[in-house]
Structures are given as structure tokens and as C-alpha cells.
């Protein structure tokens, strides 16, 4: 690793004001950033790493009426174990429980998981050997290269990486709001290929908490090669509100989570076996798989059906 200045932030506002240029990086649990720095995957290296763990009271989990407020520094393990989250936002509790390994869940934060960069192996190749579209290059090597784990719904601004955060589809399905030092962003609009970032955050903007509405029922399913630790090949979250309306969201299939209004329409009249089968078909009807990842279409179809049956 190269040398950098380490700064401990006393508040989210201080961290944001110190991160106003691309020459700085934010660190919480460090489970994603440290590997990024060691491998030097980005074309530029930060002069300063700003430590968020020293910010007090940004790791709380508390019920607030019909919602649960979760501080960005809350550990994944703590979110998974929280009774407030398990009772009101079960899909998010399960997503946090399925992320990575026990060791990482006790280090990594929900804010870090939601903000982690994509796991595309071209993007993550050490020493920036593939200067791809996300790093200022002209093209995405995955379009014609080894794209086994990439998008099956086409590209987003030229990028075919697949979202790898387990919390993302759950946050979108539950209708969560991401609170930053500058604004409040619906989770459905938060995740986006944005240069090296996988979200809409700007320089000088720090996530402080998540406001997650409670759902009458919600569920999360994940398909990974190694169940104990791996990133998702495909994951899925569904949530049903008090009015009976269901939200269906897939992850691992596009650079951002994909909410399927077609699948939701299929179960608008109730979550039955027949409706669930139609929802699974509808969720993947618009898929455009690449040369080596057509198998993910059937996984996505099956996960939608299984996750919906969990709330039947």
C-alpha cells in the first residue's frame, strides 16, 4: 500500500467537508476499501483516508413510528440481530445475515455494504490493468469478455457489472430512504453506476442513516456459489405493505437493483402459486443476457418465485 494521511472525523459534517475532492476516501469497517487500496484498482490513490468510526451515535438502531432508523455505522451483524429490524423489516435483517462471513459482518457496516463498489473482476483487477468505462475508459471489457456473473438486463451507461450488495434489494423493496449530509434519497434512486462509485453520492457527501418503513411481510433470498461467504450471483427481496401491494426487487442482475413492476402486477390480486409463477416469468421477460451468463435468467426467475412464496 502507498502512504496516505489518516484523519479521524468527529462528525459526519466534518467528514463530508474533508472529503470534497477525489483525493480522499472514507473508511468505516474497511472490509471493502482496504482491499481496494492494497490492489490499487483505481487510477488515482487517496491522499487522505477519513475514518468514520470515531463519529459518535451513528450506529444506532431504533424504531420511529412506522419505520426503523438505522445509523450508517451499524454493523451488519447488529442489524441482522436487531429485534426491531427482524420484526418490521425482515428482508433487511436476512440480507444482513447472509452478507459475507461472520467475521466481516462484525466489521462491515450497513452503510459500507450499501456503498461498496461493484465486484466486476475487470473493474477489480489489480494495478488498474483494465481501464474500463467506470474508470474513465472507453468501453466495458465484460461486454465481450468473461461475463459469467455480469448483468442480464443490459448496460447502465456502458457498464455491465452486476450489483453485489446484499442490502440493496432489501432497502429498495422496503421503500427505504438513504439520508446523507446533503439530502434524502429514495433507495430506488440511490444505486447507480457513477464513475468508480455504485451510487449517486457526490464528493463531500456522507451517508448518515437509513429510514426503513416497516412492512407487513418481507423476505430475502440469495443464490451464491459458497453460501457461507460469497457475493450473490443473484439475490431477491420482496415486501408487502399493509395495503397488500407487493414490491419485487432483484439484485446481482444489473449495475443497480432491478424493481420489477411486471412481477408486482402479477401478484396484485394475491400471492398464490399461480400468480407467483407468472411473476417469476414476468420478472425476467426483459432480460438480455450476455454470451456466458444466460444461466442467471433461470436463477432470477426461481428466486422471485421462492421469495414471493415466503410471504404467501
Q: How confident is the model at residue 227 (pLDDT cuts 50, 70, 90)?
A: confident
The answer, yes or no, to whether residue 171 has pLDDT greater than 90, is: yes
Predicted local confidence at residue 229, as pLDDT = 86
Angle, CA 292 vertex, CA 99 and CA 91 arms, to 5°: 25
Quickly state the pLDDT bin for 228 (edges 50, 70, 90): confident
Q: What is the pTM of this model?
A: 0.98
Straight-line distance from the first to the last Cα atom of the chain, in angstroms, rounded to the nearest whole number = 50
Note the residue count of the chain. 312
Residues 137, 99: contact at Cβ < 8 Å?
Answer: no
Helix (H) / strand (E) containing 262: helix 261-266
* 277/93 Cα distance (integer angstroms): 26
Whole-number pLDDT of residue 167? 98
Interatomic CA distance for residues 100 and 103, integer angstroms:
8
Q: Do residues 233 and 147 lie in contact, with contact meaning Cβ atoms separated by under 8 Å?
A: no
Dihedral angle, C-alpha 73, 113, 44, 55, nearest 10 °: 0
Mean pLDDT confidence for 41-67: 96
Question: Does residue 128 sit in helix, strand or coil?
Answer: helix
Q: Helix or strand or coil: residue 208?
A: strand
- Average pLDDT of the segment spanning 180-199: 97
pLDDT at 21: 76
The beta strands (E) that lie in 97-252 are given as 177-180, 184-186, 191-194, 197-199, 207-213, 217-223, 234-240, 246-251
Q: Alpha carbon of 59 to those of 73, 98, 183, 205: distances in Å?
A: 4, 20, 19, 18
Q: Per-residue pLDDT tens for 248-261?
A: 999 999 999 999 99
Residues 261, 246: Cα–Cα separation, whole Å:
9
Q: What is the pLDDT of residue 20?
A: 86
In the chain, the percentage of residues whose pLDDT exceeds 90 is: 97
How far apart are alpha carbons 173 and 166 in whole angstroms?
12
Q: Taking residues 282-290, report their average pLDDT.
A: 98
pLDDT of residue 74: 98
> pLDDT category, 276, cuts 50, 70, 90?
very high
**27-40 average pLDDT score:** 95
The pLDDT tens digits of the residues spanning 191-210 come to: 999 999 999 999 999 999 99
| Grid cell of 125 as nine digits | 483487477
Return the DSSP state at 310: H
The pLDDT assigned to 78 comes to: 98
Judge whether 283 and 260 are in contact, CB under 8 Å: yes
In the predicted structure, residue 303 carries a pLDDT above the cut 90:
yes
For residue 162, give Cα distances in angstroms to 43, 133, 156.
21, 14, 10
Amino acid at each position: 500500500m502507498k502512504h496516505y494521511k489518516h484523519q479521524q472525523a468527529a462528525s459526519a459534517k466534518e467528514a463530508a467537508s474533508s472529503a470534497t475532492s477525489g483525493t480522499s476516501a472514507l473508511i468505516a469497517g474497511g472490509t471493502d476499501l482496504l482491499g481496494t487500496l492494497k490492489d490499487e484498482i483505481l487510477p488515482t490513490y487517496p491522499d487522505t483516508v477519513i475514518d468514520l468510526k470515531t463519529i459518535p451515535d451513528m450506529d444506532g438502531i431504533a424504531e420511529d413510528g412506522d419505520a426503523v432508523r438505522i445509523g450508517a455505522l451499524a454493523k451488519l451483524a447488529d442489524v441482522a440481530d436487531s429485534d426491531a429490524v427482524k420484526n418490521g423489516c425482515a428482508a433487511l435483517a436476512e440480507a444482513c445475515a447472509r452478507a459475507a462471513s461472520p467475521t466481516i459482518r462484525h466489521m462491515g457496516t450497513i452503510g459500507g455494504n450499501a456503498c461498496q463498489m461493484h465486484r466486476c473482476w475487470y473493474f477489480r483487477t489489480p494495478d488498474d490493468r483494465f481501464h474500463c468505462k467506470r474508470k474513465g475508459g472507453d468501453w466495458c471489457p465484460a461486454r465481450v469478455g468473461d461475463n459469467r456473473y455480469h448483468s442480464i438486463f443490459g448496460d447502465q451507461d456502458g457498464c455491465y457489472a452486476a450489483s453485489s450488495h446484499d442490502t440493496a434489494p432489501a432497502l429498495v423493496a422496503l421503500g427505504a430512504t438513504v439520508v446523507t449530509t446533503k439530502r434524502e434519497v429514495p433507495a430506488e434512486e440511490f444505486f447507480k453506476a457513477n464513475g468508480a462509485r455504485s451510487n449517486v453520492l457526490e464528493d463531500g457527501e456522507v451517508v448518515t442513516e437509513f429510514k426503513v418503513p416497516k412492512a407487513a411481510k418481507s423476505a430475502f433470498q440469495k443464490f451464491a456459489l459458497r453460501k457461507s461467504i460469497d457475493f450473490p450471483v443473484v439475490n431477491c427481496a420482496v415486501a408487502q405493505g399493509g395495503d397488500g401491494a407487493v414490491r419485487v426487487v432483484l439484485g446481482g442482475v444489473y449495475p443497480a437493483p432491478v424493481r420489477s413492476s411486471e412481477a408486482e402486477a402479477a401478484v396484485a390480486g394475491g400471492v398464490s402459486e399461480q400468480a407467483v409463477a407468472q411473476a417469476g416469468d414476468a420478472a425476467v421477460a426483459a432480460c438480455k443476457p450476455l454470451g456466458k451468463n444466460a444461466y442467471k435468467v433461470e436463477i432470477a426467475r426461481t428466486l422471485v418465485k421462492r421469495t414471493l412464496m415466503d410471504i404467501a
